[in-house]
Amino acid sequence: MRTRTALRFVTATAALGAGTLAYASLIERNMFTLRRFDVPVLAPDAEPLRLLHISDLHMTPGQRRKQDWVAALAVATDPDLVVTTGDNMAHPDAVAGVTRALEPLMDRPGAFVFGSNDYRGPVFKNPFGYFKKDREYVQGVELPSEDLRAALVAAGWADLNNARTVLKAGGRTVELAGVDDPHIGRDSYRHAPLADADLHIGLTHSPEPSVLSDMAADGFSLLLAGHTHGGQVRVPGVGALVSNCGLDRRMARGLHRWPGSDAWLHVSAGLGTHPTAPVRFACRPEASLLTLIPR
């Protein structure tokens, strides 16, 4: 009798595990959602400004559903400014898919930084390795980052990999500063006085605390990042188990005050997954519409 009960328990547990994996790999990872946040960073009496934040597409050829969903955001959100925070590609032939997804948004002011997976392709990784703080970073095949950069710049979007600029969006002047991906040591942020602008935004792919603190110390009021995938697998009531960077896992997704400053941090959980671990659980793929409002 005990043997039968134990067997039933093992069978039920295995079935539950298989069902959860099937849901995470076949259903939730394709349940794209638009999150909305109000962010009080504008001067009193200023009109709201709509900022669309896209990150971590991890595009591979043939992902038409994801491309169509992103393309539809142009009408669904009518953004004043579009920002992408890297890891657009996951395959050497992904540039066409990325540009197809973003093309309807390219008539809006935009800016971008790159992530590690805009330079090198993904390789198989042990998922449990993400719990190791000093794990070795393994790179895959070279990706056509310069082709993607050229396409985005040709559309008029600002390349903010270790750069600053001031542009017009929604009738306002916006200063943006960005760094190349700190996750692979490509970042080079230089302190400088703020430009005379209505709004100041900092961009980074990986939300490393040192970079965020430098930007906040210089007076940037909104910081945007991706990379974490929101943890990718979240435990209800606990949240993300890892952030895959130096950021506190409790801040791995969503809008937060950056500690010790007046800056707001928004971390996107992103729209894709690592191709060798195509699962999401309690962490739907997302883009975010940030409505910037008066303080």
Angle, CA 249 vertex, CA 110 and CA 202 arms, to 5°: 25
Which amino acid makes up residue 252? Answer: A
Rounded CA separation 45/123 (Å): 50
pTM of the predicted structure, to 2 decimals: 0.90
Q: What would the pLDDT profile of 264-285 be if each residue is shown by its tens digit? A: 999 999 999 988 778 999 999 9
Domains (range + CATH), the chain: 31-294 (3.60.21.10)
- Residues 6 or more apart from 238 whose CB is under 8 A from it? none
Rounded CA separation 66/280 (Å): 15
Residue numbers in the chain where pLDDT is lower than 50:
2, 5-18, 20-22
Q: What would the pLDDT profile of 210-255 be if each residue is shown by its tens digit? A: 999 999 999 999 999 999 999 999 999 899 999 999 999 999 999 9
Q: Are the C-beta atoms of residues 50 and 78 closer than 8 Å to each other?
A: yes
Q: b/e per residue, 20-40, with b = 16+ CB within 10 A?
A: eeeebbeebbeebeebeeebe
pLDDT of 125 reads 64
